[in-house]
Amino acid sequence: MSEPSYVQLYKEGQLVKRVEHATRLLRECRLCPRQCAVNRLNNEKGFCKTGRRARVASYHAHFGEEAPLVGRFGSGTIFFSFCNLRCSFCQNYEISHLGEGVEMEAKDLAGVMRELASRGCHNINLVTPTHAVPQILEALLLAVENGLNIPIVYNSGGYERLKTLELLRGIIDIYMPDFKFWDQKWAERYCQAPDYREMAARALKEMHAQVGDLRIDKHGIAESGLLVRHLVMPHGVSGTKEVMEFISKEISAHTYVNVMDQYRPCGTVYQDEYIDHRISAKEYSEALESAKDAGLTRLDQRQGFRLLFRI
Is residue 84 a contact partner of residue 58, using CB atoms and an 8 Å limit? no
Q: How far is CA 261 from CA 88, 128, 139, 188, in A?
A: 18, 20, 34, 22
Query: What gap in Å lies between CA 96 and CA 98, rounded to an integer?
Result: 6
Pairing of strands 54-62, 215-216: unpaired
Q: Where are the domains of the chain?
A: 5-293
Query: What gap in Å lies between CA 206 and CA 287, rounded to an integer?
Result: 25
Average pLDDT over residues 39-57: 98
Q: Which pairs with CB-CB distance under 8 Å and at least 24 residues apart come from 17-20?
A: 18/137, 18/167, 18/171, 19/134, 19/137, 19/138, 19/141
Helix (H, G, I), strand (E, B) or coil at 154: strand
pLDDT at residue 269, rounded to an integer: 85
Answer yes or no: is pLDDT of 23 > 90.
yes
Answer yes or no: is pLDDT of 308 > 70.
no
End-to-end CA distance of the chain: 44
Is residue 188 a contact partner of residue 216, using CB atoms and an 8 Å limit? no
Query: What gap in Å lies between CA 68 and CA 227, rounded to an integer?
Result: 10
214-253 tens-digit pLDDT: 999 999 999 999 999 999 999 999 999 999 999 999 999 9
pLDDT at residue 307, rounded to an integer: 42
The continuous run of DSSP H or E covering 285 comes out as: helix 281-293
For domain 5-293, the CATH class is alpha beta
pLDDT at residue 257, rounded to an integer: 98
Query: What gap in Å lies between CA 76 and CA 11, rounded to an integer?
Result: 24
Answer yes or no: is pLDDT of 309 > 60.
no
Query: What gap in Å lies between CA 204 and CA 97, rounded to an integer?
Result: 25
253-288 tens-digit pLDDT: 999 999 999 999 999 988 889 999 999 999 999 999
Half-sphere exposure of 184 (CA within 13 A, CB side): 4
Residues 6+ apart with CB under 8 A from 295: 248, 253
Query: What gap in Å lies between CA 127 and CA 229, rounded to an integer?
Result: 13
82-128 tens-digit pLDDT: 999 999 999 999 999 999 999 999 999 999 999 999 999 999 999 99
What's this model's pTM, rounded to 2 decimal places? Answer: 0.96
Answer yes or no: is pLDDT of 305 > 90.
no
User: What is the crossing angle of helices 14-25 and 133-145, to 10°?
Assistant: 150
φ and ψ of 224, to 5 deg: -165, 165
173-205 tens-digit pLDDT: 999 999 999 999 999 999 999 999 999 999 999
